[in-house]
Amino acid sequence: MKGSNHIVNLQYEIFYSKIKNPRTYPTEFVVRTFLADYPNLIFNKPKTGAKVLDIAFGDGRNTIFLAEQGFKVSGIEITKGIVSLAKKRLSNLGLTANLKVGRNSNIPFKDSFFDVILACHCIYYCDDSDVLLDNLKEYQRVLKPGGWLVASVANTESYIFNNADVLADGSRIIRADPYKNRNGYRLFGFPDIESIQQYFSLYFEDFSFGFANNNFYGIEEKVFWVVCKSKKAN
């Protein structure tokens, strides 16, 4: 019997293969976090040449944005097919990034390698037998001590958790994904920023938070923005 990893791999590879536009647009919270200043944002913004990892880069929309800022960009995705599609898109735009196959809990880079990790709509994806802490521990491993994590974290009231099965560890098996990509897969959500900070604090500190409650014509997306600094590994 094939597990949920195989299901999500297949569905996302099909999903991204259907995107034909030569260029896509970066996620708004990513642009705002990296380029703008806000009174409650603690973030030492990376300078030209900084090593930035784009986790679950998908169609490459944020990878392109990061590369255009002059960063040394790497990225991971869950299949070779998705990696190949993104490499082609970047190449067509005259950009390069070091893109590899990897997972949230298995990142194929050395310890203390990156200055910043971007985890846009992905940190809360939990592979078979993993929990969210496994993902956070792996993020901390590849970040330099004091390196930054910029992430979006799902709100338990968001559309993706409609009719989901709630498990003892706080993760939820998705049952009603309107995009059909994540049914049968486990995602981890939080009800508020206090619970996020408490959970993440084993590996991260110096938190900044934002959030968005959007209704995209019937798709009610609720998500937290999280910026925090890696603690020194124990």
Whether pLDDT at 125 is above 50: yes
The pLDDT tens digits for 181-222 are 999 999 999 999 999 999 999 999 999 999 999 999 999 999
Domain 4-230 indexed as CATH 3.40.50.300:
no
Whether pLDDT at 122 is above 80: yes
Tokens 């592979």 found at: 127
The pLDDT tens digits for 171-186 are 999 999 999 999 999 9
The three state secondary structure string of 12-28 is: HHHHHHCCCCCCCCCCH
CA torsion sign, 57 to 153 to 118 to 103? negative
In angstroms, the Cα distances linking 178 to 30, 44, 76, 218 are 24, 37, 25, 11
User: What pLDDT does residue 26 have?
Assistant: 97
pTM of the predicted protein model: 0.95
Phi, psi of 224 (to 5 degrees): -100, 145
Beta-carbon count within 10 A of 143 CB? 27
Distance separating alpha carbons of residues 225 and 42, to the nearest angstrom: 12
Residue 224, token pair as written in the block: 């937290």
Whether pLDDT at 25 is above 50: yes
Among 153, 159, 231, 146, CA closest to 194: 153
Residue 210, token pair as written in the block: 């934002």
% of the chain at pLDDT higher than 90: 87
Residue 152, token pair as written in the block: 């979006």
Query: Domain map of the chain by residue range?
Result: 4-230
Residue 150, token pair as written in the block: 């910029």
User: What pLDDT does residue 1 have?
Assistant: 35
The pLDDT tens digits for 57-111 are 999 999 999 999 999 999 999 999 999 999 999 999 999 999 999 999 999 999 9
Region of poorest pLDDT, from 51-55, 125-129, 226-230: 125-129
Among 163, 223, 231, 159, CA closest to 193: 223
Beta-carbon count within 10 A of 179 CB? 11
Phi, psi of 3 (to 5 degrees): -80, 180
Mean pLDDT score of the chain: 95
Mean pLDDT of all residues in 35-43: 98
